Amino acid sequence: MRGTLRRLWFVFAILAASTAVGSVSSSSGATPSTSATLTATGSGAVTYTPDNATLGFGASAQKTTAAGSIAADATAMNAIIDALKKAGARNVATQGVSLSIRYNKDASAIVGFEASNSVQGTVAVADVGSVIDAAVGAGATNINGPTFSTTADVESLYRTALRKAVVQARERAQVLADAAGVRLVRIVSIDPSPNYATSTATPTAAGPASTPVLPPTQQVTASVTLVFSVA
């Protein structure tokens, strides 16, 4: 009986040792998985010339009474507005109206009032100079602008710039992969940046008979970062 028990314990011991060795071998033989990536950036731009400009014009009048100042300024502004519309200005709208007290040199007494009024309008870039001349000829004493804009579809321009950015990023990634001796497998991440516009000093000539206004070219730019898995 005792001999039988000894043989059973011996078999159990061998089985336990074998299991332990198998477990260690399995653990030590495992190879952790790794994933290599390559990152490249690209940018693209689309250039266009603005075709619209927004301008502001104003005038003021000084009289001894508030009512007299407002009335005189209204007369001047009506003439300016009519001149702007005849010269081709669109969306003419009031920017602001103000009335202030005028004092003597030591601010001890009121000597009158000053009324001010201003309007803005949008014109074709080609007409900016002639519109300025018309407004000043009608009595405008203040000019603000121009602020240039375009009637083009800026979102479409941005998408074109974005495509250029992706093409450049892919080309750069391929150069890096070739130099490193790896192969591009697939794109695992795409990170585009927001669009924005910048001005460059590339003016077009204005007509000699009007106030010279030289619109700059504009750019819609885009950039993107691509992450590739490589093998």
Count of beta carbons in the 10 Å neighbourhood of residue 24: 10
Mean pLDDT of the chain: 82
If one compares 216 and 149, the residue with the highest pLDDT of the two is: 149
Q: Is 29 a residue whose pLDDT tops 90?
A: no
Q: Is 10 a residue whose pLDDT tops 80?
A: no
Q: Is 11 a residue whose pLDDT tops 90?
A: no
The 3-state DSSP class for residue 120 equals strand
| Highest mean pLDDT pick, 171-180, 185-194, 217-226 | 171-180
Q: Order across the sheet with 110-124: list the strands.
A: 90-103, 110-124, 52-63, 142-149
- Report the pLDDT value the prediction gives residue 212, as an integer from 0 to 100: 75
Q: Is 225 a residue whose pLDDT tops 80?
A: yes
Rg (CA), the chain: 38
pLDDT tens for 110-167 read 999 999 999 999 999 989 989 999 999 999 999 998 889 888 898 899 999 999 999 9
Q: How far apart are CA 120 and CA 78, in angstroms?
A: 13
The confidence band for 100, taking pLDDT boundaries of 50, 70 and 90, is very high
If one compares 53 and 20, the residue with the highest pLDDT of the two is: 53
- Report the pLDDT value the prediction gives residue 217, as an integer from 0 to 100: 84
Helices (H), the chain: 2-28, 66-86, 128-137, 154-180
* CB-based contact 40:172 (threshold 8 Å): yes
- Report the pLDDT value the prediction gives residue 23, as an integer from 0 to 100: 33
Cis peptide before 146 (omega within 30 of 0): yes
Of 73-77, 174-178, 194-198, 214-218, minimum mean pLDDT range: 194-198
Phi, psi of 205 (to 5 degrees): -75, 145
- Report the pLDDT value the prediction gives residue 20, as an integer from 0 to 100: 34
- Report the pLDDT value the prediction gives residue 82, as an integer from 0 to 100: 95
The whole-number average pLDDT for the span 30-48 is: 80
Percent of the chain with pLDDT over 70: 78
- Report the pLDDT value the prediction gives residue 172, as an integer from 0 to 100: 97
**What six digits make up the tokens of 12?**
């159990």
Q: Show the domains of the chain with their CATH numbers.
A: 36-49+153-230 (3.30.110.170), 52-149 (3.30.70.2970)
* CB-based contact 176:38 (threshold 8 Å): yes
Measured over the CA atoms of residue 27, residue 28, residue 33 and residue 34, the dihedral's sign is: positive
Q: How far apart are CA 69 and CA 120, in angstroms?
A: 21
The whole-number average pLDDT for the span 36-47 is: 94
Closest by CA position to 191, among listed 152, 159, 223: 223
Three-state secondary structure readout of 31-89: CCCCCEEEEEEEEEEEEECCCEEEEEEEEEEEECCHHHHHHHHHHHHHHHHHHHHHCCC
